[in-house]
Amino acid sequence: MASLLTVALVWKLTWGTQQSHSSSSGSSSDVGECPLTYRRLSVSEVRGGSPKPYLLGGPQQPECTNCKRSGQWADICQFKSGDLCADWLFWSVLEEWLGRGYELALQLTPCDLWPLLRGRTLFLLGDSQMLDFYKALQCFLFEFWPSLEQRDLTADAAAQQQFSTVLRSTCVDLLQGTRVCYIRADKGTDLLTRVLPLLASLPGLAVPSRDLLVVNFGLHHDRSDYRQQLAAFAAYHASNAAALPRLLWQPTPAQHFAGSDGSGEYPGGQPPFQCEPLPGIHVEGEGRLALPDGGRDRFGLLRGGWRNAAADSVMRRAGIPILPSYNESVWMHAFHRDNGAGLECTHFCHPSTPQTWVLALFKTLRDLP
């Protein structure tokens, strides 16, 4: 881990005041104001670990309402229960980001993201990694979630039956007509034959000109079919884009299995596994991947491994924005979790890599034309 360094308190992005409302621009011209107040924390404040950065579970400043409540999601979103990281790992993230001078990760507030989501439905489509993304996002927006309850995706009973039983889906209703929804789809074929046609067939479920669709499929595919699935997905989107929300692509995060010859990929077998760093590659600054002088990138990790290299090529040709979410997963080999049968090296504990996907979403929406 990088050693603690003095980080200059120079705010590099024009975000507005240090107190509450974000002036971030995005794809919506009607960004409005943030309905809540979040005090922007200085780097010197978070250096001591209290208060925590908002991405890592810091409560609303100067006061918090939902943190006074109890129940399943109140506990999960305050990191009192669920797939939790060990306490020492919080300090590892803090030290890493301080050492790299990653001020954006340390100081991002929910009010920076909110104007880019307000009034929209954000659909997260994919496998269990996307479920972790969903949890990270709903907990980052914890104070914007009045009911702390899950909702159906649609009032159409027949369609909801499909979403609930065949696909598995859930939503949270946030303030100001904003929703975040998760729909399970492990493979590209699931998206093409079930999810996307069902979304497009329901009037009023999605507003193509405003709503957002963040998609990933990858870990359930091998080399034999992944490129074909990506090409079919891009072709479907090109033919049906007018009926679907704005599409964004979520890269597949790094795995860290020992015994994989350095690629980190699943080598076969049953848990518990040993997780190890990806050799030779490291992360610098605000998320740049680098090799040591003379280092060799045997597995194409600078491009995210073979899955992300393939997806990057297809999505760029199709004009589909890609979230810059892979790089922070590279160094988090110690942040994997026990799946009930022992340690595995694919899924991450909270708060760690999934919370950095929220940051990647912010960057992407902020920079959309």
Domains and CATH numbers, the chain: 43-367 (3.40.50.1110)
Q: Which letter does DSSP use for residue 16 in this model?
A: B
Contact 148, 73 (CB under 8 A): yes
Determine the Cα–Cα distance for residues 145 and 114; give it in Å rounded to an integer. 12
Output the pLDDT for position 166. 67
Check pLDDT > 80 for residue 5. no
- Higher-pLDDT residue of 165 and 327 is 327
Determine the Cα–Cα distance for residues 94 and 182; give it in Å rounded to an integer. 29
Check pLDDT > 70 for residue 12. no
Output the pLDDT for position 117. 98
Residue 277: HSE in the Cβ half-sphere, 13 Å Cα cutoff: 7
Mean of the per-residue pLDDT values for the chain?
Answer: 88
Q: Region 16-43: what's the mean pLDDT?
A: 59
- Min mean pLDDT across 14-23, 147-156, 251-260, 301-310 is at 14-23
Determine the Cα–Cα distance for residues 22 and 112; give it in Å rounded to an integer. 5
Output the pLDDT for position 25. 33
Give the count of beta carbons closer than 10 Å to the beta carbon of residue 307. Answer: 24
- Min mean pLDDT across 211-220, 256-265, 313-322, 347-356 is at 256-265
- Min mean pLDDT across 9-18, 109-118, 172-181, 299-308 is at 9-18
Longest dimension (CA), the chain: 60
Output the pLDDT for position 16. 32
Output the pLDDT for position 61. 75
Q: Kindly report the CA angle at 186 between 181 and 187, in degrees rounded to 5?
A: 120
Reported as a single tens digit per residue, the pLDDT across 51-86 is 999 999 998 877 889 999 999 999 999 999 999 999
pLDDT band at 32 (very low <50, low <70, confident <90, very high): low
Check pLDDT > 80 for residue 214. yes
Bridge-based pairing state of the strands 121-126 and 179-184: parallel
pLDDT band at 22 (very low <50, low <70, confident <90, very high): very low
Q: Region 353-369: what's the mean pLDDT?
A: 98
